[in-house]
Structure 1
């Protein structure tokens, strides 16, 4: 059984995903479907206009490239892309979500020309929930569950990147090893819940004083590592001292009922003659050990 031809527009309009007919020049020839109103804007106002008229140049160029690729290769093309209503002229005031959405575009050439141009069918399938889940899973893999700082895995990735930048471009980078002094005594005397609060406070204070490109990670237990790109040894020492003093003041205010909580820090910089990023991390760890040997609450 085949449907009568006159029913086909109604069938297409019933689709939950929007279906665009786009010409090789980027003109919107027709728009169907898009009945999933929780996720889509009504794109029918775009009919007759070109993508380079309604989208930013970079977005329009990407759309045109995919249209022409599908026509050139004469096959189905699948692409993933983010798009927000404010990026498309004519949809700014339309019903639908205001935040950017992620789409999977299914682009299939048509066998015949439309209005004298070769054209494609472009179905925009909303994949925002999937992308959000992927991002949550990605963050879970690189974040410490207690403090929300980056974990050891992410730290090592960044150290490898910074060492490569040193080797290739000569960009300096400093590494700080940070240890909360007498942390076991805090846990033993006041309980692990208080110990966790201290670690959370260290993380929060660190976030407030660091630059945008700095990275503070929980290395394990009560140890943290701070990566300072574009920083030499003297400036790194100054950052470490500021961090130490700020932590003393902040932790004393947050935990007035327990003895002052301090930190010891070891500071090192990456060197061009290092074999790998591990050398600077090892030197910072040795400096941290020396800071603890000299009585703690200091920077070496």
Structure 2
């Protein structure tokens, strides 16, 4: 007897349908993984405080900049992608020539990793960049020169370096050069004068009766005297002159390109400026004076030490002659 029941539906899909479904599932998985990678990559770029960039050398076109550009430069990414001058015009004017020349060196060297220059961002802040750049590996037959790089904001590092340099070279109390830094600068000035055959003057000054000030009014009052005299020295000296505290109550100055005769006029102004200073301790008012020894570079001077020794001898002669005066040695 024939079976009149309809045939049961197949329990398995045709192989080609199953393969198609598997392929779709695999593709969806790949898309999901790619999306995750893109999100991760985008998140990493957002968190890095450095600008990744790509630049077409021939067309002078920025091909890519990472999101940090907007944080560091304070300008929209779209502007620099449209016009390379948005980056170029942000460079601090004094650093522009160096920045352009150093990037051009990548064409010769293949990589430049020691570029440091300043920019002025849209808010008017000066920022330091460390900008490393490389020639991108070109595909065979491709003539375009693509430079890629990473520009890191190192402003905080530069500020710390500057502060450490200031602490290493500055007398903490008077904010003038300390002894070591002063004599380093004085040696450079001496060497330059010897090479160029130019003039150089050296001045030493010592506060008269400084021990009496400390004993009578206390060391805090003595510190104020030192600070005020240092301020007077920095106010009177010319740009390019070097001034520093080289001992307890002893200061020194170097005058590059200056004869002893001209330096003496500056020393006289400093003498008058110091004589005008007025101090008070309680109800007691008092003033201070200094003794100065001055000398100029001669043909016989073969070292900075000889110049210093002559100025030192002249200063002590000023002390012996009654103080509050300038003696040339």
TM-score, normalization: structure 1? Answer: 0.84
Q: Select 2:126's aligned residue among 89, 100, 103.
A: 100
SS at match of 2:175: coil
The structure whose Rg is larger is 2
Q: Specify the alignment match of 2:291 in structure 1.
A: 264
- Runs of 5+ unmatched residues, structure 2: 1-29
The CA distance in 1 between the partners of 2:80 and 2:103, in whole Å, is: 17
Query: What is the number of equivalent residue pairs in this alignment?
Result: 288
User: Which structure ranks higher in relative contact order (CA pairs < 8 Å, sequence separation ≥ 6)?
Assistant: 1
1:206 aligns with 2:252: no
SS at match of 1:289: helix
SS at match of 2:177: coil
The CA distance in 1 between the partners of 2:76 and 2:299, in whole Å, is: 56
The CA distance in 2 between the partners of 1:158 and 1:149, in whole Å, is: 13
Q: Select 2:68's aligned residue among 15, 31, 34.
A: 34
Q: Specify the alignment match of 2:34 in structure 1.
A: 4
- Runs of 5+ unmatched residues, structure 1: 86-93
The CA distance in 2 between the partners of 1:98 and 1:298, in whole Å, is: 49
Which is worse superposed, 168-177 or 284-293? 168-177
- Deviation, 1:14, is 2.5
Task: Tell me the C-alpha RMSD between the 2 structures.
Answer: 3.0
- Deviation, 1:49, is 2.8
Which is worse superposed, 191-200 or 201-210? 201-210
Listed as ranges, the matches of 1:157-196 within 5 Å are 157-196=184-223
* Cα distance change on mapping 1:231 and 1:74 into 2, 3 Å: closer
Q: Specify the alignment match of 2:164 in structure 1.
A: 137
SS at match of 1:261: coil
Which is worse superposed, 60-69 or 26-35? 60-69
1:14 aligns with 2:46: yes
TM-score, normalization: structure 2? Answer: 0.77
Listed as ranges, the matches of 1:49-198 within 5 Å are 49-51=83-85, 54-55=88-89, 62-75=98-111, 77-85=113-121, 94=122, 97-112=123-138, 117-198=144-225
